[in-house]
Chain A
Amino acid sequence: MSSVLNGLGVGLNAVVAEVFHVAPTAALPAWSKTSSGVAAESEILKSAIASVSADLDRLGSNSDETSAEIFEALKYLLEDESLFDMSVAHLDAGWSAGAGYGMAVNEFSEMLAGDAAFEERIADLQDISKRVQASIAGIHVGLDLPATGAYVIVGDDFSPADTAQFTPAVVGVITVKGGPTSHTAIICRSRSIPAVVSVAGAHEIPAGTSVLVDPVGDRVVVGGSLSDATQALAFADTGREPLIEVRANVGSLEDAEAAAKTGAVGVGLFRTELLYLNESSQPSVDRQRDLYASILAAAPEGPITVRTIDAGSDKPVPFLKMPGEENPALGVRGYRLIQDHRSFIEDQLKGLEAARISTGREIWVMAPMIATVQEAAEFAALARSLGEFKVGVMVETPSIAALLPDLAGIVDFISVGTNDLSQYLFAADRMNPSLGALLNPWQPGLIRTLERIASQAKAAGIYSSVCGESASDPAFAVLLAGLGFDSVSASRSQVDAVRSALAAVSADQAVALAKLVLAAKSAEDTKTAAVAALSAL
């Protein structure tokens, strides 16, 4: 008997092993008051902290050095004296030990909130709070994974604390939720554990059943064997240049240096916000010039496309005041910051122009989060008044995607950010682990939108590029070339793989592949059509 469950694959290798279900953690009890008194509750809290501390020691001693340091840092937070004193103040008011500790953690979380440097610490604090409350309530929070043998583990989704507990017996992973950029996907990719995420119905597979985890096929085959696994596409080295230019995405000097070692022709996306996250005050134009010049000088040969600051209240820059918003993804972000921070965006362009002159590099600049032709025209005029740039805009909002013909004569180029375009096109929050399947770039709704963007850009005489995650997938990059895009920009680790795929196909073959994909009706069928066309080359 074999049945197939579809999801999103992570990695290139397949594995066959028995399914092991990770038990979901029981819900924590609601916070309540007690009459047992502050002395008794303080003792309960003290011993719970000691027991969680011992758990962390145990986790730390079973993991590699990096993870061990993480657990050590968690212990400092767990055993913080002020945290304990603040908890006792709540116990004094009659709250039970778990409630008092939870409240004190929330107070510290609020004190640390709004500062990017502390976001992960807040997550750590909340994790500790859960562990302490669970310990008091007698609820077990460990994953209880087998230490030996070989298992494919199945769960809803795995947190950093969960993945730190993966034992060598974890040879494959299936999650019900989570998308291609979830924490589980990132960890499995880095540790080369075959995984398929966003698999609805994975909980239905009986424990102990043998399954094939087939990430290249984006599927789990119950009862399948390794010979059923989908083979990763391999492209022969033709010695030809790629069909369209392949650029690299960079955000730091280190990225630029690494990208220069690949075959990338220039940079298709330079994320500038990373340079500002650690600045407590707005850097001067001179300082910005120096920051940019070092990166421009190190970047691979070719034009360098620089995106002006792409920050928002969920991705704050310390010196720009960004009040909290109900919906940060739909809020004041990207180019919209010009409402309150015009001088900052102007300084950024001035620093860039000075760096352009000192390094002699060709610079293209583009603004993120453009929704109207007026915004595009305003940015283009501003950028041209401050430097000798080619000027463009990101296509991320469905509204600007509908207005491409009107951008003729206004911008020199566009670059499609497929991650955000998917989020806004499908009305699916990128941060919501339940919506991973909608954010799959192989969704026909996205591909047909990309087709329209490429053909309208061409008709309007605008150069078009794609710089989202999707362009790092070699098969998707061939599709983009077939749809008519002029270049793609990939993660630096993927540049050479994308280049060899684009060197293996002719223009006619890419167009034929795009036709087949455009005719398909589901995310599974579009990808299957592309892979079949590439395998037949």
Chain B
Amino acid sequence: MSPEAIAPESGASTPPTSRGGPVSFNAKHLLGIEPLSVDQIQLILETAKSLREISTRPIKKVPTLRGKTVINLFFEASTRTRTSFEIAAKRLSADAINISTSSSSIVKGETLVDTARNLEAMAPDVIVIRHSSAGAPHQLAGTCSACIVNAGDGAHEHPTQALLDALTILDHKPTLKGLRVAIIGDIAHSRVARSNCLLLGKMGARVTVCGPPTLLPVGFDRIGSADGSLAVTDRMDDALEGADVVMMLRIQMERQREAFFPSVREYFRYYGLTARRMRSAKPDAIIMHPGPINRGVEIASEVADGPYSVILGQVASGVAIRMAVLYLVIGGREHPSRALEG
């Protein structure tokens, strides 16, 4: 086919714009929120909003990624995230292959790079990777020709979680700009906290992170906020004061053994979310949690199941975000220059 044959039929060759300039994703990988521009974040969110409708149809499938192969490479167990990516791939008609590798191959001495090279034989278009080591997706991106999507790497980033959190917030609030968001819990070990702080910071929200000082890492106040919009506190009431959004993070039980705090009971006393504490937040504040919830550890049941809780909405947004990401990274690959068909 000659390029002329599919020249634009109309004047619609300028795509819609969000902030004046033409928008395109132009990124082969989604390794984290950190490298994304505001425009790219906006594009993912807008695309996800458009794609959400597919999941409400009688036929929940579009042929967009027909013939594409998506490998879900999970080195860490995570049924929820893996399922979400799998559904997203399938709704776009891609072939989804799940590979769950425990640490056994590492014990055998196979490196991540070895594993990746073996997968290359399947010629995947996208590798979605979950790994307990921070930076594993970056190393994969350096050795594979596939698009790499980070589905959570160690305590580093979990970009699709932050994106779906943003989408969920936007279901309840008109804009992220100027929003007061409290992120509470184990900040030190949380990739969700990092990705959310980066994303919300870029989008102009005012974030306060809160947790016991043992779980607040050095220099966190400088994350994603050149303008110093990120605040760090060890007092929960300060964090909740006037909050529009309250994000609770999961507390890993083993942190107790590692002496980050003395007991679950004591943790809940100072950092657990209760209905009484929520009174400091705005009356219409929403409560979010990346799940799975430890009821009575970081969040009281009455609050988790209460009217402000949008925890279930978060799950629905997840598929749409992952569909958008798969669509955009595959489309973001380098192509021979060709005009857009009208």
Are the chains A and B members of one assembly?
no
By a beta-carbon cutoff of 8 Å, the part of chain A in contact with chain B is: none
